[in-house]
Chains A and B, each alone.
Chain A
Amino acid sequence: MLHEDVVCPFCACLCDDLKVETDNGTIVKVDNACDLGNHKFLTDDDHRLKEPIRRTPSGWTSATLQHAIDRTVEILLGADRPLLYGWSGTHGEAQSIGVHMAEVLGGVIDSTTSVCHGPSILAIQEVGHPGCTLGQVKNRADLVVYWGANPIEAHPRHMSRYTTYTDGFFLDRAFKERKVIVVDIRRTQTAEVADEFILIKKGGDYAVLSALRAIVRGKSDMIPATVAGVTKEQLLRIAEMCKKAKFGAFFFGMGITQTQGKYKNIRNAIELVDELNRHTKFTLTPMRGHYNVYGFNEVCTWMTGYPYAVDFCRGMAFYNPGETSAVDILARKECDACLVVASDPAAHFPKDAVRHLGEIPTVQIDPYPNTTTAFCELQIPVAVTGIDAQGTSYRMDGVPIRVKSILNRGYPTDTDILGEIYRRIKEAKRV
């Protein structure tokens, strides 16, 4: 059976033009997806955990779904300070249940945001965010800047669907008319296709952004001969390209959110874009990673007022990333139970934080075994959103798209499992 306009649940490009062929409950062919998307669809069946598993002194053993849910409820109800972490690889409806659950439990809820674009959000909370939907870039942009981002490898269709290589309404020969600037500390694959590549010394992003701001403000005389390894000549050229563009689009990745300077880098980038808007049109978009990491920020914000790292222990939402974010709570050994949903913290968190995961009762709800599995007491496999579960997802620019279910592999969805756990918790707490 051929499924058209399928939405890819890999990265936050959320490409919605895939053609997927299924035959007898298996995916046999995928068209239009990138390598990452292809891999997710075509190898999905090979990696799935088939049934809930629990750790025993003698190793892993299978568990019934009933037992798995009972034990998860018991762990969460028995915890003084449960942490509910992850959420970026599932649909919004499940995320919403997670936030409700955290409220009833008086726990902490956080998403992978705190280890990817959390700093971008902190910067936005200081100075705002001049952005747009990706179609504005596609149809208008004659200048695209990728800073600390390597879309060819991390978001492989970003350039062909939304920026460099796509048709645009206001561009006759879009590919030739658009200029691409890439800024990075190493020559990435994306740098190879740039019209202008700026090689920055490691940790020099803040200084280079400041230099560009100064030039755009007409203060080029104060710029030294080189800034973080970039020549003044190149900086002047780049600033001129930006000012002369009819529509410039600035994309940034974890190359500047999680490196020296962190949120201050992003603040500087936003203020550069702000400054450029006094000369021409310029927008800025974070290259969000997981296909629905932005969705968690949206859901959590309309429900609690804050995008991530929300602590309900006072009976209301309290937000202070660095204090209420998952890594910090784990590293301080503050939480006494953890529910991991749709992410893999053990593969990304610092050692001390991961070690604590292994010392407390940790349950993971995830379709696949991953690094975190090794630190869990229990794992419940669920349907994969976008393959056998449907729901809402938010693209990196905030456009919400309904991700589809194209076959039935007999797994419960995140919404089913979390809904049942939440129901049981409410019942126990007489809510």
Chain B
Amino acid sequence: MSELLIRHACVVDPVNRISGEIMDLAVRDGRIVESVSDRAEVIDAQGFLTMAGGIDSHTHICGTKVNFGRYMSPEDMRAGRTLKKGQMHSTSGYSVPTTYGNSYRYATMGYTAVLEGAMAPLEARHTHEEFMATPLQDTMANVLFDGNWPVMEAVRDRDVKRVAAIVAWVLTAVKGFAIKITNPGGTEAWGWGKNVTCIRDPVPYFEVTPAEIIETLIRANEILRLPHSVHLHCNNLGTPGNYSCTIGSMDVAPDLNKERQSLYVTHVQFHSYGGTSWKDINSKAHVVADAVNRKPHIVIDMGQMMFGKTTTMTADGPMEFNLYKLHHNKWSNHDVELETGSGIIPVYYSRKSIVNSVMWAIGLELALLIKNPEQCLLATDNPNGSPFVKYPEIIALLMSNPYRQAEIATLPPETESRISLPAIDRELDWNEIAMMTRAGQGRALGLRKLGRGHLGLGAIADIAIYPLSIGAIDPSKEYTRVIEALRLTRYTIKNGKVIARDGEILSNRNKTTIWVRPKIPEQHRMDHDPDFIRNFERYYTVRMSNYPVQEAYVPESTCIETEAVW
């Protein structure tokens, strides 16, 4: 039995309606409890801001394309090196750090769980290998279904149960967490160097539309009663005028789940552009935010872009090629048979660029115009919008209108007429920030009931204590102090153990990989389906028996079993 008592914590925990109350937190065997014995280890939180561990619900940190981002970019590796020190391995990388680099940096920022945004099922073993080398966060993986041949065929046949059965087989086989669709249909078209422009374009050969793929997968997701909803990267990313496609995609989503959203739309900043070309691009964040405000069954994340150097990487192969044709630097692409695609290019977001300035404003506008912070989560689509180490700056921008105005003053003057940010004076409070960085994620991922994203009795004792007395400062004026405090926790606690203190890592390993195993009726299982097996053996280049990820790749594993409603 291990016990911990955190004294004088200034707790912000919106799920349990605790808003800056100074209190003690008792922990036994990794869970929050009512009280502990006097033998408990004691930590004095000194009245500092204390929240549940941060959860990143959309980040790219492990797997084939992430590693290729490192592989092709020694210049990025050189830009972020740290020495081997104590328990810490040496690290490399600024925008795409090594697995230890990611893990240490997230840990010292108080993040204890992360969802890898895009895992190609065929290459899942790779993602899990990197998860094993990401020692201090609980890890989950979105599984890509955007160009899955058997799924598209079942969608074409309007057989939602077959779609559900395929998803169940794949999720179980690859030890994945949720359904991800990246540019649905577009990644398959990219196999021929083509793309789809929006949700009504038919996918070459398969003759299904992105809209049909999205809607059917949402229904299949709820048949399987998966913890998370469908996680959508809309078609037409990064194109002027794409906001209407984004709203159209949201309109497709039925409202099917009472406890959480039915559709999670990711990095919406990249999908909220007005105008007809790069010359007249403008923000349509207000229109997209209005749509989200009217649809409580939708949750989005910001996909905030921050100025500076980063690496873009996505399963959206055609988009990356288009971006490459704008930037002319270097381009990698990796299409995955029967499943999906991916692309990578490094970019530099400049505050001298009107386009980049508009992008920067859009992410913030979304967060400030969406009324319920549980519907707009904080993320940068790390590292696409910016590396996650910029989260403290984003939080400060959301909490301080003066900070925003000071930043706007540095942008090209032509930017102002294209954005609404200068006129928005909303400043978020600590409850709202907690919603956008942990509580909302707990709900959106379906993990709140499992004790994540909050500090109520029975919750998992993942706790972040930041060196900031929130009662003593005005974040609107003292935003630099907010940034400073959120960069490095005083303590990061995971499962009741201190894993980081003042930037120093104190644990070798403290994690689990969370995956789902939906149970469906035996006779519908794909491993008994002759058509599925025959096509698998005929068109994949890996035997069906060698495809599933073995137990050896999830030595620390939390399997969520669901019972499908058939």
Q: Is A399's CB under 8 angstroms from B122's CB? A: yes
User: A136 near B93 (CB under 8 angstroms)?
Assistant: no
Q: Is B416 among interface residues, defined by CB-CB distance under 8 A?
A: no
From B221-229, B272-280, B337-345, the one touching the partner chain is B337-345
Among A188-196, A310-318, A336-344, the one that faces the other chain is: A310-318
Residues of A within 8 A of B91 (CB): 305, 316
A103–B81 CA distance with the chains assembled, in angstroms:
14
Q: A5-B545, A128-B345 known; A133 and B92 CB under 8 Å?
A: no
**Does B447 count as interface, using CB distance less than 8 angstroms?**
no
Among the 9-residue stretches A54-62, A252-260, A296-304, A353-361, the one with 4 or more Cβ atoms under 8 Å from chain B is: A296-304
**Do A283 and B335 touch (CB < 8 A)?**
yes
**A125 to B332 Cα, complex, angstroms:** 10
Measured between C-beta atoms, what is the minimum distance from A94 to chain B in Å?
A: 13
Report the separation of the CA atoms of residues A267 and B64 in the bound assembly, to the nearest whole angstrom. Answer: 22
Contact pattern, B 45-62, Cβ under 8 Å of A = 1, otherwise 0: 000000000000000001
- Do residues A128 and B72 form an inter-chain contact, with CB atoms below 8 A? yes
B333 within 8 A of A: yes
Q: Mark A266-299, 1 if CB is under 8 A from B, else 0.
A: 0000000010010011010000000000000111
Q: Which residue of A lies closest to B102 (CB)?
A: A302
Of A22-30, A69-77, A162-170, the one with at least 4 CB within 8 A of chain B:
A162-170
CB-CB < 8 A to A138: which residues of B? 337, 539, 541
B542 interface contact, C-beta 8 A? yes
A305 near B93: Cβ-Cβ < 8 Å: yes
Q: Please indicate the chain B residues that have their CB under 8 angstroms from the CB of A127 in the complex.
A: 330-331
A400 to B97, CA, bound (A): 21
Residue B126, interface by CB 8 Å:
yes
| Chain B 522-566 per-residue mask, 1 if CB under 8 angstroms from chain A, else 0 | 000000000000000011111101100010100000000000000
Q: Which of B73, B101, B546 contacts A401 (CB 8 A)?
A: B546
User: In the docked arrangement, what's the CA distance between A167 and B81, Å?
Assistant: 47
Residues of A within 8 A of B310 (CB): none
Tell me the nearest residue of chain A to B345, going by C-beta.
Answer: A128
Chain B residues within an 8 Å CB radius of A126: 330
Given contacts A128-B330, A398-B126, contact A302 B70 (CB under 8 A): yes
Is B90's beta carbon under 8 Å from chain A? yes
Q: Is the C-beta of A237 less than 8 angstroms from some C-beta in chain B?
A: no
Instruction: Tell whether, in the assembled complex, residue A133 and residue B98 are in contact, meaning their CB atoms are under 8 Å apart.
Output: no
Chain B contacts with A in 2-52, Cβ cutoff 8 A: none
Total number of B residues with any Cβ neighbor in A under 8 Å: 58
A interface SS class:
mixed
Interface range on chain A (Cβ under 8 Å from partner): 35 or more
CB–CB A305/B335 < 8 A: no
**Minimum CB–CB distance for A323 against chain B, Å:** 13
B331 touches A139 (CB 8 A): no
Measured in the bound complex, the distance between the Cα atoms of B335 and A135 in whole Å is 9
A312 touches B90 (CB 8 A): yes
Q: Given contacts A306-B92, A315-B83, A398-B126, is CB(A136)–CB(B77) below 8 Å?
A: no
Q: Is the beta-carbon distance between B129 and A161 smaller than 8 angstroms?
A: no
Q: Is the CB of B125 within 8 A of A392?
A: yes
With known contacts A103-B90, A135-B338, A315-B84, A92–B129 Cβ distance under 8 A: yes
Q: Which residues of B contact A53 (CB under 8 A)?
A: none
Docked complex Cα distance between A178 and B371 (Å): 57
B133 in the interface (beta carbon within 8 A): yes
The reply to whether B122 and A281 form a contact with Cβ atoms under 8 Å apart is no
Is A130 an interface residue when CB atoms closer than 8 A count as contact?
Answer: yes
Which residues of chain A have C-beta atoms less than 8 A from B338's C-beta?
Answer: 135, 139
Q: A13-52 toward B: CB 8 Å interface, digit per residue (1/0)?
A: 0001100000000000000000000000000000000000
- In contact, B98 and A400 (Cβ under 8 angstroms): no
Candidates A167, A274, A303; contact of B99 at CB < 8 Å: A303
Is the beta-carbon distance between B71 and A297 smaller than 8 angstroms? yes
Q: Pick the contact of B123: A4, A92, A283, A400 (CB < 8 A).
A: A400
Q: Which residue of B lies closest to A298 (CB)?
A: B67
* Beta-carbon nearest neighbor of A391 in chain B: B552
Q: Determine whether A116 belongs to the interface, using a CB cutoff of 8 Å to chain B.
A: no
**Which residues of A (116-170) have their CB < 8 Å from a CB of B?**
121, 124-136, 138-140, 161-162, 167, 169-170
- Counting CB contacts under 8 A, is B307 at the interface? no
Q: Which residues of chain B are near A303, meaning CB under 8 Å?
A: 89, 98-100, 133
Near A by CB (< 8 A), chain B positions 66-87 give 67-68, 70-74, 77, 81-84
Say if the beta carbon of B191 comes within 8 Å of chain A.
yes
Residue among B100, B101, B331 facing the most chain A CB atoms (10 A cut-off)? B331
Please give me the residue from chain A that is nearest to B120 by CB atom.
A133
Report yes or no: A16 in contact with B546, Cβ–Cβ below 8 A: yes
Q: How many A-B residue pairs have CB under 8 A?
A: 178
Within the complex, the shortest CB–CB distance from A30 to chain B, in Å, comes to 16
Q: How far is the CA of A96 from the CA of B126 in the complex (A)?
A: 13
A319 interface residue per 8 A CB criterion: yes
Most buried by A among B81, B545, B546: B546
Across-interface contacts of B177 in A (CB, < 8 A): none
CA distance A281 to B545 in the complex (A): 31
B193 touches A (CB below 8 Å): yes
On whether A133 and B335 interact (CB within 8 A), knowing A128-B345, A305-B98, A401-B542, the answer reads yes
What's the minimum C-beta distance from B311 to chain A, rounded to whole angstroms? 11
State in angstroms the CA–CA spacing of A131 and B341 once bound together. Answer: 10
Please pick, from B82, B129, B193, the residue contacting A316 in the complex, using a CB distance under 8 A. Answer: B82
A306 to B100, CA, bound (A): 14
**Interface pair A136/B90, CB less than 8 Å apart:** no
Complex: A138 Cα to B123 Cα, angstroms: 17
Name which of A92, A128, A306 has the most chain B CB atoms within 10 A of its CB. Answer: A128
Q: Which of B62, B68, B71, B541 contacts A161 (CB 8 A)?
A: B541
- B330: chain A residues at CB < 8 Å are 126-128
| Nearest opposing residue in chain A for B338, CB measure | A135
Q: How far is the CA of A128 from the CA of B317 in the complex (A)?
A: 14
Q: From residue 318 to 356 of chain B, which have CB atoms closer than 8 A to chain A?
A: 321, 324, 330-338, 344-345
Contacts of A132 in B (CB 8 A): 333-337
Name B83's closest neighbour in chain A (CB-CB): A315
Known A-B contacts A247-B191, A400-B126; A302 and B539 likewise in contact (beta carbons under 8 Å): no
The reply to whether A130 and B332 contact each other, CB–CB distance below 8 Å, is: yes
Report the minimal beta-carbon distance from A431 to chain B, rounded to whole angstroms: 9
In the assembled complex, A307 has its CB within 8 A of some CB on chain B: yes
- CB within 8 Å of B: which of A365-381? none
Across the interface, do B123 and A301 meet the contact criterion of CB distance under 8 Å? no
> B432: shortest Cβ distance to chain A, in Å?
35
Q: Is A7 in the interface zone, CB < 8 Å from B?
A: yes
Q: Tell me the minimal C-beta distance from A279 to chain B in angstroms.
A: 8
Contacts of A7 in B (CB 8 A): 546
Q: Using a CB-CB cutoff of 8 Å, which residues 81-137 of chain B contact chain A?
A: 81-84, 89-93, 97-101, 122-123, 125-126, 129-130, 133
Q: How far is the CB of B211 from chain A (nearest CB, A)?
A: 24
The digit string for A81-121, where 1 denotes a CB below 8 A from any CB of B, is 00000000000100010001001100000000000000001
**Is the CB–CB distance between A135 and B74 below 8 Å?**
no
**How distant is the Cα of A17 from the Cα of B191 in the complex, in angstroms?**
26
Chain A residues with CB under 8 A of B72: 124-125, 128-129
Contacts A129-B68, A132-B333, A132-B335; A304 near B542 (Cβ below 8 A): no
User: Are the C-beta atoms of B541 and A399 separated by less than 8 Å?
Assistant: yes
Chain A residues within 8 Å of B82, by CB: 316
Q: Identify 12 residue pairs between A and B in the complex whose beta-carbon atoms are under 8 Å apart, listed by A's number.
A: A5-B543, A130-B331, A132-B337, A133-B335, A133-B337, A135-B541, A139-B338, A247-B191, A283-B333, A301-B67, A302-B62, A316-B81
Would you list the 10 A-B pairs with minimal beta carbon distance, nearest first? A135-B337, A305-B92, A305-B77, A281-B193, A128-B330, A132-B335, A400-B125, A316-B90, A135-B541, A128-B332
Residues of chain B touching chain A, judged by Cβ–Cβ distance below 8 Å, are 62, 64, 67-68, 70-74, 77, 81-84, 89-93, 97-101, 122-123, 125-126, 129-130, 133, 191-193, 205, 321, 324, 330-338, 344-345, 538-543, 545-546, 550, 552
Knowing that A100-B89, A399-B122 touch, tell me 8 more A-B residue pairs with CB under 8 angstroms: A125-B73, A170-B205, A277-B321, A303-B99, A305-B70, A305-B91, A316-B91, A398-B123
